[in-house]
Chains A and B, each alone.
Chain A
Amino acid sequence: MAELKYALYTGCTARESTPELLMSTMAVAKKLGIELVLLDEASCCGASHLQDFDDFLSLVLNARNICYAEKRNLPMLTICNTCQLNTVMTKERLDSDEDLKSQVNEKLAEVGLEYKGTSSVRHFLYAIIDDYGLDKLAEKVERPLSDFNVAAFYGCHNIRPSHLHNKQNAVNEDSSKENPYNPSSLDRLIEALQGKSVDYESKNKCCGFHADLQAPKTANRLTGTALLDAIDNDADMMVTPCPLCHLNMDVKQHAAAKEMGRDIELPVLHLPQLIGLALGIDPEELGLKHNVAEVNFV
């Protein structure tokens, strides 16, 4: 198999409020022999909020980010669902509209760049499943998660709109196709690490992150509902591929518990933290000390 190499678009959160996400991503990649080149030139994806204010500007900035992956001749790798969605939405719009693409390229030319559309954009979850392979991952497990019930929390922006993601993720004919009403990729990954994936209704629902500031009650109710659903179905921990979901499930766990009127204590791991534990990577390297809800089983 050819060596896997990606241009890593970290997004903002992994550089600031979830340093453990970047640490664990790098540690897992190193252990699996995946080469990651940091896209240090990249800017924020706008997280759908810049898009609300100035759609064209957000297109230009996201196209610029992709340009830097293209310049390196590498597929772009994301570790945040919202970065993934905003980047592939940009890619889809530019690749399907020559007129829009030339308007954007006219601006990019001012800084000596050109968007071509040659780099694919992959989320870490699908890179592990489809590019690296679950069978191969299963062989590398040193500390099986066999004692644990793990609740997969998918995060909206990796699974909806499904037509867009299934198209962008279709790098070959065996690529994962996700059913947004019953997603399975993360559950399959948990099983490959020999954990027991929890069957619960909230796994494909919204955590409310994008309304945290303007509608905290809505956000806390959605976060709290999902956490309690996982707990009521015997989860020992939750895992998510999205740092924004993680912020709500972990940092805001206390606020969600208050809103729901029930105690909530559930460790919430980033996807690479979970993989890293199963691969026997030192918890220190996975940044577990940065998790707010105590990871009490390590």
Chain B
Amino acid sequence: MSTKRITKKLTFKTFRFNAETDFLPYFKLYEMEVGKDELILDILNRIKWEFDGSFSYRRSCRHGICGSCSIKVNGKPVLSCKQNVWELVELFDTDTLLLEPQSRKRVVKDMIIDKKDFWDKHRAIKPWLEAEIDEHPEEEIRVSPKEADELLEADYCIQCGNCYYACPAVEVNPEFFGPAQFAKAYRFNADVRDRAKIDRLETVREMGPGVWDCVKCFECAEACPKDVDPIGKITKLHNQLFEEHMAQDNVATRHAVGFKHSIKKHGLLDEGELVRYSEGNIGVMKHIPEAIAMFKKGKIVMPWNMPKSKNLDEIQTLIKSSSKVKF
């Protein structure tokens, strides 16, 4: 019986850059035979140990818990110590894989990036329990299994940054908190022992940095190696803002609520009315040039021609009986 190890000959096109000495980044190709159990972290180690000792990357626990070894492979954010190499070969149908840092514009050296903005924003949402705890308690603070379930998957976040550096809103709006930060805000808001929920909701409802500036692209959900589903937690924060009567009257909140008004009236969405309701009678003026362009192309339905869903009475009955939130 043959004991020969089955391997694949692969090329790793690897991003190299030293911010202190290099003018421009460049790529180096490393060829190696890769076995079916090898992980991206094994490849990073082999590049350093077998090819170039100056190659730099972060690593620590090797068990998917410290969150330090995340990079991008062919554009896909991966936690190196959890990501099998052959899986990527199959997914991308290629024998050349591109190894890059999570964010090119934040590179310090090779795979190492400056995560300062990530940590500053993380700290700003109070990622800890705020509770008044007796220094000499007589009994433990009990959390029932049902209450613990409320944290959902948010407790699994290891701050690897995969979602944050995959988020397009973070890239074009530097003040936007980011998905990991919101997931963490939800994690502590959902904890029955915590007393800072209102503070955090005040922080995350701000227009610009807050949850309303999420573009709902699901890049964060796709990027997370721990299935935290950050966008699901962003939705939960939206829900908490309405449930706690913390939602301010602004274009974003009216936009969310406007859907209900429109569905109640027509079943379908009245697009024009939604914009007017969200922006207000003055704010809506800035959309006039666009509206004219659309009108000329037959893209505006006049209020008297607004289509309605058949059996609209059913929809209205359900809105009456199933609504759980007020604004």
CB-contact partner of A181 in B76, B290, B309, under 8 A:
B76
Q: Name the distance in Å between A260's Cβ and chain B's nearest Cβ.
A: 11
The 0/1 profile, CB within 8 Å of B marked 1, for residues 54-71 of chain A is 111100110010000000
Chain A residues contacting B217 (CB-CB under 8 Å) are 156, 160, 205-206
- State the majority secondary structure of interface residues on B: helix
Q: How many residues of A contact B (CB 8 A)?
A: 63
- B259 contacts A47, C-beta separation under 8 Å: yes
**In the bound complex, how far is the Cα of B213 from the Cα of A217, in angstroms?**
10
Q: Is B168 engaged at the interface, CB distance under 8 Å to the other chain?
A: yes
Q: Is B268 an interface residue (CB 8 A)?
A: yes
User: A107: CB under 8 A from chain B?
Assistant: yes
The interface-forming segment of A25-33, A36-44, A115-123 is: A36-44
Which residues of chain A have C-beta atoms less than 8 A from B267's C-beta? 42-44
B215 to chain A: which residues have CB within 8 Å? Answer: 206, 208-211, 215, 218-219, 222
Residue contact B251 to A44, C-beta cutoff 8 Å: no
> Taking the complex as formed, is A180 at the interface, i.e. its CB lies under 8 A from any CB of chain B?
yes
> Cβ of A161 < 8 Å from any Cβ of B?
yes
**B269 pairs with A64, CB closer than 8 A:** no
Q: Is B4 an interface residue (CB 8 A)?
A: no
A252 to B287, CA, bound (A): 11
CB distance from A295 to the nearest CB of B (A): 11
Chain A residues contacting B5 (CB-CB under 8 Å) are: none
- Assuming the contacts A217-B173, A251-B293, asked whether A157 and B318 have C-beta atoms less than 8 A apart, the reply is no
- A166 and B215 CA atoms in complex are apart in Å by 22
Query: In the assembled complex, how far is the CB of residue B327 from the closest CB belonging to chain A, in whole angstroms?
Result: 7
Asked if A292 meets B293 with Cβ closer than 8 Å, knowing A53-B260, A110-B317, A162-B222, the reply is yes
Contact of B259 with A53 in the complex, beta carbons under 8 Å:
yes
Known: A50-B263, A53-B257, A214-B252. A181 touches B75 (CB 8 A): yes
Does A13 sit within 8 A of B, measured CB to CB? yes
A218 partner, pick from B213, B299, B322, beta carbons under 8 A: B213
* Cross-chain contact of A43 among B91, B207, B268, B290 (Cβ < 8 A): B268
Nearest-CB distance from A160 to chain B (Å)? Answer: 4
Contacts of A48 in B (CB 8 A): 216, 235
How far does the alpha carbon of A15 sit from the alpha carbon of B307 in the complex, in Å? 7
Q: A179: nearest residue on chain B (CB-CB)? A: B91
Closest CB of chain B to A290's CB: distance in Å? Answer: 5
A289 and B298 contacting across the interface, CB-CB below 8 Å = yes
| A199-234 Cβ-contact flags toward B at 8 Å (1 or 0) | 000000110111101110111011000000000000
Question: CA separation between A15 and B266, bound complex, in Å?
Answer: 12
Are A12's CB and B269's CB within 8 A? Answer: yes
On chain A, the residues within 8 Å of B314 by CB distance are 41, 64, 111, 113
B238 within 8 A of A: yes
Chain B binder among A16-24, A129-137, A278-286: A16-24
Assess the A61–B257 pair: CB atoms within 8 A: no
CA distance A213 to B276 in the complex (A): 11
Cβ-defined contact, B238 with A160, below 8 A: no
Q: How far is the CB of B313 from chain A (nearest CB, A)?
A: 8
Verify if B301 is at the interface (C-beta below 8 Å from A): yes
Known contacts A16-B307, A60-B318, A161-B218; decide if A221 and B255 are in contact (CB<8 Å).
no
Q: Does B47 contact A (CB under 8 A)?
A: no
Bound-state CA distance A61–B323 (Å) is: 11
Chain A residue at smallest Cβ distance from B241: A52
Q: Is the C-beta of A4 less than 8 angstroms from some C-beta in chain B? A: no
| Chain B neighbourhood of A292, CB < 8 A | 293-294, 297, 299
Docked CA distance A42–B309 (Å): 6
Which 4 pairs between the two chains have the least Cβ-Cβ distance?
A206-B217, A160-B218, A52-B238, A214-B252
B-side residues, CB < 8 A to A, are 74-76, 91-92, 168-169, 172-173, 207-208, 212-219, 221-222, 229, 235, 238-239, 242, 250-252, 255-257, 259-260, 262-263, 267-269, 271, 275, 278-279, 290, 293-294, 297-301, 307, 309-311, 314-315, 317-319, 321-325, 327
Can you pick out 25 interface pairs between chain A and chain B where the beta carbons lie within 8 Å of each other? A16-B268, A16-B307, A17-B299, A17-B301, A19-B298, A43-B267, A44-B268, A49-B256, A51-B235, A52-B242, A54-B260, A57-B325, A60-B322, A64-B318, A156-B217, A157-B218, A161-B229, A179-B91, A181-B92, A182-B75, A205-B168, A208-B168, A214-B213, A222-B172, A254-B293
Known: A156-B216, A161-B221. 18 other contacts (CB 8 A): A15-B307, A17-B294, A47-B259, A49-B256, A49-B259, A50-B263, A54-B325, A57-B319, A111-B318, A160-B218, A161-B229, A179-B92, A181-B91, A215-B213, A218-B215, A222-B172, A251-B293, A251-B299
